[in-house]
Amino acid sequence: MDKLNAMYTFVRVVELGSLSAAARSLQLSQPAVSQQIVSLEQQLGTLLLFRTTRSVTATEAGQRYYQQIKPILAAVVEVEDALHGLSQRLQGNLRVHAPSGFGQAHIAPLAVAFQQLHPELRIELLLDDRLADVSAEGIDVAIRFGELHAPGTVARRLGSMQRMLVAAPRYLATQGTPQSPQELSQHPHVRFSGAAIDDTLTLIGPQGATLIPLRPVFRANNSFALLAALEGGLGIGGAQRPLIGRQLAQGSLVRVLEEYHYPPMALHAVYPAARFIPAKVRAWVDYLARSLESVDGMEVGNASGDKPEA
């Protein structure tokens, strides 16, 4: 058995959750993939995968083995490329996770452009609004908003994003436009499901921070669903400035209480902590930092270097 190839195969099976998907990815037959995994398990003396008719998942030992060998395999590829004078060529798999709204609007086009620049990369983009476990799920880079509390990861601050209060003109025409933050309590509110459950909102204005009690009538865990509710006239709510350029330009949404805004929301690139960070990860994060400068509502001037999370 070629142990190094078997390790590569095992990593792809864990990341794709399927022997057949890994076989297609590696251009091998499914029996060949299965045999490599069995041989690896026999050599290690432990079960690495739980197998069912529909999928495979890593055992506890398999997950630990995956997390330990993935950076080793990335280092092997990097060293081999450098020895062959190919250090500027980015190759292999790049698995990226991002929030659904911002990811679809801005990260997806950048991922497409990045892959076109580096055609030997194979990019997998995962878009949803949960807090993914980058190590357990084999994610190379996760894009995250807000403050971070993820042990065992490295974070690079890419900048911050503006958020503002908006509403549909037809809602304001029938329900009135609030003239002070306190009047927001009298209006139905549209809010992200992951927001604080105490239904209060902090706004920054000319006199500093103001805490306002809210009356949510519609919640969603997806930015585009929230925008649909706001455009539909369900109430007033906060929106990420990078996601509402079209709505503001067309007038389907307008700003409310323009002198007030949400506290800036930080944007980070997060990846597993390791002594060796693959070149493809560093190149992708650098590309993001440069490209986000052109996004309305993004402040990227304060981007900083890698910082481990405690």
Q: What pLDDT was estimated at residue 303? A: 45
pLDDT, block means (10 residues), the chain with 310 residues? 84 87 84 90 91 84 89 77 61 91 93 94 90 83 79 82 94 95 93 75 89 91 91 94 92 94 88 76 92 86 49
- Per the CB < 8 A criterion, the answer to whether 293 and 269 are in contact is no
Q: What pLDDT was estimated at residue 275? A: 60
CA distances from 223 to 101, 151, 203, 240 (A): 5, 27, 20, 8
Q: What pLDDT was estimated at residue 171? A: 96
Domains delineated in the chain: 1-71 (1.10.10.10), 88-161+264-310 (3.40.190.10), 163-255 (3.40.190.290)
Whole-prediction pTM: 0.67
Q: What pLDDT was estimated at residue 83? A: 61
Q: What pLDDT was estimated at residue 127? A: 92
Burial class, 195, CB count within 10 angstroms (exposed 0-12 / middle 13-18 / buried 19+): middle
